[in-house]
Amino acid sequence: HNVLNWLVNTMNNKQSRKIFIDSKISLVHGDLVFHNLLTDKEKISGVLDWERALFGDPDFDIFRLMNFKLSASAYKDTGNDGKNETGYLSLLLSKIKSSGLIDDIEIFDQKYQIAKASYYLNALYWDAKSNDPQKNIQNTLKEIEKFC
């Protein structure tokens, strides 16, 4: 299946994995998602919920936001995005990418492919344990196909 090949090839790409080894290490939040951000509607004014903080790749928090946007987009598709998370996250990620916080966008994108594959493997795991695994797995596979 195309999706499984994409997941396996992405996770096994030795060249991309080496990029993580060469990454700098800094403090990362660990759970940077929509609900943990305070804003004054113009800029972020605070970040809550630091119990998952750790030292790691500084791009991890941005990947977490991007993956959360994938989830929020799925809610929007079903009409359940009452807080407009998708729009907010799109704007926030656009500002992050244009801010200079990302040193090398090409390397960032390569690392994000692995982070996204990991996110989808995790989603499939939770789908399999859900109340309606067949439906949820099919929905996740449809999402993954957009990237293959």
Q: Which single residue is written with the structure tokens 């009452």?
A: 82
* 0.95 surpassed by pTM: no
More confident residue, 116 or 76: 116
Q: What is the pLDDT of residue 75?
A: 58
pLDDT tens track for 121-146? 888 999 999 999 999 899 888 888 87
Q: Report the pLDDT averaged over residues 68-85.
A: 63
Instruction: Annotate 51-88 with three-state secondary structure.
Output: CCCEEECCHHHHHHHHHHHHHHHHHHHCCCCCCCHHHH
For 25, list phi and psi in degrees, rounded to 5: -115, 135
pLDDT the model gives residue 77: 60
Alpha-carbon gap, residue 111 to 17, rounded angstroms: 8
Angle at 117 between CA 115 and CA 123, to 5 degrees: 105
Whether pLDDT at 80 is above 80 = no
pLDDT score for 68: 78
Determine the average pLDDT of the residues in 41-51: 88
The per-residue pLDDT for 99 is 85
Find the helix or strand (DSSP H, E) in which 4 lies.
helix 2-12
